[in-house]
Amino acid sequence: MSAEIAYSHTPTDGFHTQTSTLQEATEKLIRTHIPPGGTSQVELQKRYHFEFLLRNLRQGFPERYTSQDASQPWLIYWTLHGFSLLGAGLDDLTKKRTIETLLALQHPEGGFAGGPGQAAHLLPTYAAVCAFAIVGRPGPGGGWESIDRQKMYKFFMSLKQPDGSFLVSHHGEVDVRGIYCLLVVATLLNLLTPELLAGVPDFLATCQTYEGGFGNASFPGWAFEADDPESEKPSNASFDPTAPRPPLGEAHGGYTFCATASWVILQSYIEHYYARPDVSSATSLPIRPEINTRGLLRWCTQMQGLPIELGGFRGRTNKLVDGCYSWWVGGCVVLVEALLGVGVLHDSPTEGQGGEEEGPKAWDDVDDSLFDRKALQEYILCAGQHPAGGLRDKPPKPADAYHTLYCAAGLSAAQHRVVPSDARRHAVISAWDPVQARAHDGTGVVSAASDAEREKLDVLRRETCAHVLSWTEEEGTALYVGGSANRVNATHPVFNLTVTHSDAMMAYFYGQSLPSRLPSRPKA
């Protein structure tokens, strides 16, 4: 294949528009960032990116970040997790100051605010808790014990809507990003309950668009009835989950990642609190909602750009590629693969089974990624790096904290295959202590439940935690464009934290002694 064919422009069918003109100009600009000798020697400028993050941390953010005054926990999280991905540790003083800053943002009525004196909000609550996972620890001064989980749970429940969705804040809007942030925090901090999760899967399923991706929300059926003067139902009628709720807005990378990651977290809840359609008549449980997983995969993979775009991802149909979607869409493909069972590490054969391996296990060493990992790395390394440090949307835009993290996280998703492991899941389940998990419950409402309800909740906790703790880097599948010197650390596909940080936080808040991830050494 010639270079000209490999780098051909997006076809326009001879009809130029403002969109196609901008697309062509972007493709030409990106092409100028392809090294003359190819991408085999391209270098990740780790030192420059580290110095970029360090300047923000030590000297403060530039004036243009004043618009992020309500996103202060996000600025902290983006910076700290950026250090984690680059393999840079934090000194004790930085950790102490970060903990003090985060605690100052904890709202007296639960949750975290985006800045001092501001209202609690689900999105900065996620960022604050993730930052605590990075810098915090058990014990006095470690920050974890100062998180008021009971008030946070009450804050979460105060935002819950009749259709299973959540407002992002009091008097705020409904948004699947808020649901994702809530579910991650509830999972990390041992706040999962059936009343918190009730209706969430039903709502998420209504947010999937005809394209396969997800919009930010859906129109609630009761909203239409309230505005319909001819409706025969009383205004206080109970919510009907079967009522049509069209998606609100087009499919978008950020919304799609958040909805998909939420769906992954909810798998155990769906399994135990919903009935399959074929057995629905024999149980009182609601019918299990479904999403079009293959349509979701198709949408995600179609968002990856052409060779002339260096394989970057766009966030919406007919939009330009953008470095941050390396994570929001590239990382989402990893989640969809897990939902489809692609790449899952299956148990080894039991003793006594001879001959060659057969079935799924025989293919565990095959890289069956459903997006072009090499191409995505080329986009980030060639077009996503700013010469002065930090990562960016695309040239000639400046670097910023947001794009630095999500380009780095996308690079991590392209370098490492982090997938669910059956063996790891079974190891977590075998070591699970339900008494300790119940004793460490942070909601303050479980004691009021019946014995049967508590036992069912024990199963929900165990199965949800075993699943999210089972994600493991698959050996032998690492891919480093430009060589292993460009390696960044692996990040958890659901939480976007290193597994070291997420494991430690969950072990503490569930009172568990998790099995080691290190391979056991053979006895001498």
State how far the Cα of 263 lies from the Cα of 197, in Å rounded to an integer. 11
The pLDDT, as a whole number, for residue 368 is 79
pLDDT for 333 beyond 50:
yes
| Catalytic residue selected from 181, 258, 300, 324 | 324
Rounded (5°) CA angle 112-115-121 = 40
* Over residues 115-132, mean pLDDT: 97
Is 322 one of the annotated active-site residues of the chain?
Answer: yes
The amino acid that residue 471 corresponds to is W
Q: What is the pLDDT of residues 139-161, one digit of tens each?
A: 999 999 999 999 999 999 999 99
Concerning whether 319 is annotated as a catalytic residue, the answer is yes
Task: Output 446-454 pairs: Cβ under 8 A, ≥24 positions apart.
Answer: 446/193, 453/194
User: Which range, 231-245, 259-273, 443-457, has the best average confidence (pLDDT)?
Assistant: 259-273
Say what the pLDDT of residue 228 is.
Answer: 52
CB 394 within 8 A of CB 320: yes
Asked if omega into 396 is within 30° of 0 (cis), the reply is: yes
Amino acid (one-letter) located at 131: A
Sequential DSSP letters for 452-496: HHHHHHHHHHHHHHHHHTTEEEPTT----TT-GGG------TTTS
The string of pLDDT tens digits covering residues 216-236 is: 999 876 555 555 555 565 555
175 is catalytic: no
Active site residue 393: yes
H or E element, residue 218: strand 217-218
Higher local confidence (pLDDT), 349 or 497: 497
3-state secondary structure 65-76: HHHHHHHHHHHH
Per-residue pLDDT, 483: 95
Please confirm, yes or no, whether 451 is among the known catalytic residues: no
CB 310 within 8 A of CB 320: no
Choosing from 269, 274, 325, 402, which is the catalytic residue?
325
pLDDT given for residue 1 in this prediction: 35
Q: Which of 149, 245, 252, 392 is catalytic?
A: 252
Q: Which residue type is seen at 345?
A: L
| Active-site position among 137, 288, 319, 454 | 319
Specify the pLDDT at position 366: 59
Residue in 184, 116, 227 with CA at minimum distance from that of residue 495: 184
Confidence band of 353 (pLDDT split at 50, 70, 90): very low
pLDDT at 347 over 80: no
Whether 202 is catalytic is no
Question: Which residues touch 219 (CB under 8 Å, ≥6 apart)?
Answer: 245, 246, 248
Q: Scanning the structure block, which residue is given the tokens 């995969």?
A: 297
**Parallel/antiparallel/unpaired status of strands 217-218 and 471-473:** unpaired
- Alpha carbon 145 to its chain centroid, in Å, reads 25
Which of the residues 95, 107, 316, 416 is marked catalytic? 316
Lowest mean pLDDT among 167-181, 237-251, 295-309, 466-480: 237-251
8 Å CB contact between 84 and 412: no
Set 322, 364, 441, 503: catalytic member:
322
- β-partners of residue 208 are 214
Contact 122, 178 (CB under 8 A): yes
- pLDDT tens readout for residues 75-108: 999 999 999 999 999 999 999 999 999 999 999 9
Give the model's pLDDT for residue 266.
98
* pLDDT above 80 (res 346): no
| 252 is annotated as an active-site residue | yes
Confidence (pTM):
0.92
- Tell me how far apart the alpha carbons of residues 180 and 194 are, in angstroms, rounded to a whole number: 16
**Cβ atoms of 241 and 440 closer than 8 Å:** no
- 446 versus 509: which is more confidently predicted? 509
Q: What is the pLDDT of residue 350?
A: 40
Q: Are strands 217-218 and 418-420 parallel, antiparallel or unpaired?
A: unpaired
